[in-house]
Structure 1
Amino acid sequence: MIKLMVIGNLGKDCIVNTVNGKNVINFNVAHTEKFKDSTGAQREKTTWVECAYWTDRTGIAPYLKKGTQVYAEGTPEVRTYQTNDGKSGASLSLRVQSVQLLGSRADGLNAGGQPQERSYQTSNGSSYANNTAQGSNDDMSNAGDDLPF
């Protein structure tokens, strides 16, 4: 099995479709890598990954908006095609097995410039909170008490 993991920003809002009675969330993720070329000049290379998330849990779809940073992992597929001018092309797609929201460019700070807490509703009705603030040292001192080993 080959597994692909990508962290990047969504290029546009996701689209939820139903194909043969199954739900699929389609979105694209851009990962930009910065590097220096052989002359020492700073360069950027952006790789776009088309993602298809086949799931009944479409509750995440409202949060998959343009600019949102996500972590997605799954099985990669390379698709080849011919352009109108006869040239060969290729695209990278990902059959997503899991996706996690990491935030967005505008998220993370409230009006006072302080980290904010975000709450999400899952498809089964339960909710969870994501606090973007760093944990305090007091929280870390108690963390060792919960270790299973």
Structure 2
Amino acid sequence: MLQIEVIGNIGADAEIKEFGGKKYVSFNVAHSEKRKDANGAMVESTTWVSVLWYGDGGGLTQYLKKGCKVFVRGRLSVKPYQDRNGNTQVAVNVNANEVNLCGFKGEQSTAASSATQQPSTLAGQDNDDLPF
């Protein structure tokens, strides 16, 4: 089993979905990097990772909004697919077992609220013990 850790910004508000009678939270995380190409010009590339987090998010879902910075840890899944033009692309997916809030895009402070949720439970705490 391949494990992955991802830090990036959420591309759109997280959604709770249901499949086969099981709930899961779905969202995408993006990470952009700037680098110089062979000609010395700066180019930016963005990598998107789809996240599936089984359970209902334990109250954290309401904070998983577009632009929010998150840390995600889970099992890596890579799947090839054909795009609209018939080109082979690769989808990078994470079946998350841990999600932490790290702040919002452009936020200066790293002291943002943070919470970790294991599937269906919130780090061994009752929801009444959470700071939000």
TM-score, structure 2 as length reference? 0.78
Question: What is the root-mean-square deviation in Å for CA atoms of aligned residues?
Answer: 2.6
CA apart distance, 1:125: 2.0
2:103·2:112 contact (CA, 8 Å) conserved in 1? no
**Equivalent in the alignment of 1:91:** 91
1:3·1:76 contact (CA, 8 Å) conserved in 2? yes
- Residues 98 and 119 of structure 1: is their aligned pair in 2 closer, same or farther, counting only changes over 3 Å? closer
Q: Runs (4+) of structure 1 moved beyond 4 Å?
A: 106-109, 115-120
1:103-143 per-position Cα deviation (integer Å, ceiling 9, x unaligned): 1136567xxxxx987598x66321137xxxxxxxxxxxxxx
2:8 pairs with 1:15: no
- SS of structure 2 residue aligned to 1:90: strand
**Equivalent in the alignment of 2:129:** 126
1:11-69 per-position Cα deviation (integer Å, ceiling 9, x unaligned): 00001012233220000000111212222222211000010001254311000000000
Q: Distance in 2 between matches of 1:85 and 1:34?
A: 27
CA apart distance, 1:88: 2.1
The 5 A counterparts of 1:21-100 are 21-100=21-100
- Structure 1 alignment gaps of length 5 or more: 110-114, 130-149
CA apart distance, 1:77: 0.8
- SS of structure 2 residue aligned to 1:125: helix
- SS of structure 1 residue aligned to 2:128: coil
Q: Distance in 2 between matches of 1:27 and 1:108?
A: 24
Query: Which structure is larger by alpha-carbon Rg, 1 or 2?
Result: 1
1:23·1:58 contact (CA, 8 Å) conserved in 2? no
Identity across the alignment (%): 35
* Matched letter for residue 126 of structure 1: D
- SS of structure 2 residue aligned to 1:58: coil
TM-score, structure 1 as length reference? 0.70
Q: How many residue pairs get matched?
A: 123
- Residues 33 and 85 of structure 1: is their aligned pair in 2 closer, same or farther, counting only changes over 3 Å? closer
1:78·1:91 contact (CA, 8 Å) conserved in 2? yes
Q: Distance in 2 between matches of 1:63 and 1:25?
A: 12
- SS of structure 1 residue aligned to 2:127: coil
2:58·2:127 contact (CA, 8 Å) conserved in 1? no
User: Does 1 or 2 have the higher relative contact order (CA < 8 Å, sep 6+)?
Assistant: 2
